[in-house]
């Protein structure tokens, strides 16, 4: 058998072995996982359940946040500086609830809404360097989208495409060769890419979060400033009745599949290599 014929046969055998044990995102154990998020809350809203399950499995999870979210308030007495501090504390609390310590949260410190005005080359290099430094088994990132990209918020568009571009650059040593030559960072091909904020049409994987669904609601509500009444007139606490009413409302809106609370992802299966 010619080698060129043998290779596809071996690939088929290998694929059969792999398909006998389908990949399960929530079962990943003892690995390094990076989550890239445009704002401090998208990571919570998309994935707090999955993160909580992965944290229980002794994974080393790091959250990389592109912006400081210093614009999201209708309170006319709020300032960007104050809001950035509030958002940082809220993100740390939400992450704590999910089982991720604050030292594992990394802020790239762009201003809210301004990510698209950053230098694209500098931004992709910065994220490429983070990937080469941590060498993650899994990256979670916002889906560039076949439809949603048209209506993503500005930071969402930029973060989605930038992270996808950095994942690609990280595996080829001739992109940003200074990382290797000056910093000793070797290229890294990310084994698993899982994209969140995915359309129902594009989703191809659902994590059952039944056992941590309540925890996810608490993590979401830790972003106090992003919900009424605090978004209109900031207060750091809640009227317990208002909080409980919102929690029940969010609970009713939890995405379900086959009767289970789920978080949806698009796991890269090669479509991203075109
Ligand atoms: Zn966002």
Distance 40 CA to ligand 1 centre (A): 7
Tens digits of per-residue pLDDT, 121-164? 999 999 999 999 999 999 999 999 877 677 778 899 999 999 99
For tokens 């900031």, the residue is 234
Confidence grade of residue 3 (pLDDT, cut at 50, 70, 90): very low
* Partners of residue 105 on adjacent β-strands: 63
Distance 89 CA to ligand 1 centre (A): 17
Average confidence (pLDDT) over 41-63: 98
Query: Looking at the predicted structure, is the pLDDT value of residue 17 above 50?
Result: no
Distance 41 CA to ligand 1 centre (A): 7
Report CA torsion sign: 16, 20, 22, 27.
negative
Sequence-distant (6+) residues with CB within 8 A of 99 are: 51, 52, 55, 56
Q: Inter-axis angle of helices 120-134 and 154-170, to 10 degrees?
A: 50
Distance 63 CA to ligand 1 centre (A): 14
Tens digits of per-residue pLDDT, 213-252? 999 999 999 999 999 999 999 999 999 999 999 999 999 9
Report CA torsion sign: 167, 183, 58, 103.
negative
pTM: 0.91
Distance 30 CA to ligand 1 centre (A): 28
Please identify every residue whose CB atom is under 5 Å from ligand 1, which is an ion. Answer: 38-39, 42
Distance 112 CA to ligand 1 centre (A): 9
Q: Please tell me the distance from the alpha carbon of residue 265 to that of residue 259, in angstroms, as a whole number.
A: 18
Distance 116 CA to ligand 1 centre (A): 13
One-character DSSP codes across 221-232: HT-GGGSTTTTT
Helix, strand, coil % over all residues of the chain, rounded to 5: 50, 15, 35
């Amino acid at each position: 058998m010619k080698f060129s014929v043998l290779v596809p046969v071996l690939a088929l055998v290998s694929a059969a072995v792999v398909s006998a044990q389908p990949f399960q995102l929530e079962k990943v154990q003892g690995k390094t996982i990076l989550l890239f998020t445009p704002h401090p809350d998208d990571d919570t809203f998309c994935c707090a359940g999955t993160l909580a399950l992965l944290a229980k499995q002794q994974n080393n999870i790091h959250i990389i946040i592109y912006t400081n979210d210093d614009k999201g308030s209708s309170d006319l007495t709020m300032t960007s500086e104050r809001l950035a501090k509030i958002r940082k504390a809220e993100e740390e609390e939400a992450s704590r609830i999910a089982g991720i310590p604050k030292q594992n949260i990394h802020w790239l410190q762009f201003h809210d809404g301004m990510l698209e005005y950053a230098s694209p080359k500098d931004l992709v290099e910065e994220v490429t360097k983070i990937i080469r430094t941590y060498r993650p088994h899994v990256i979670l990132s916002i889906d560039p989208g076949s439809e949603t990209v048209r209506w993503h918020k500005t930071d969402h568009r930029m973060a989605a495409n930038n992270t996808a571009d950095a994942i690609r650059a990280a595996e080829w040593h001739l992109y940003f060769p200074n990382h290797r030559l000056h910093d000793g960072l070797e290229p890294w091909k990310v084994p698993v890419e899982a994209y969140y904020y995915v359309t129902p049409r594009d989703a191809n994987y659902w994590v059952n979060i039944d056992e941590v669904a309540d925890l996810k609601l608490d993590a979401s509500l830790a972003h106090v400033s992003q919900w009424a009444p605090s978004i209109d007139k900031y207060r750091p606490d809640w009227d317990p009745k208002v909080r409980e009413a919102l929690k029940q409302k969010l609970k009713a809106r939890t995405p379900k599949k086959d009767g289970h609370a789920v978080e949806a992802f698009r796991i890269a299966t090669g479509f991203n290599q075109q």
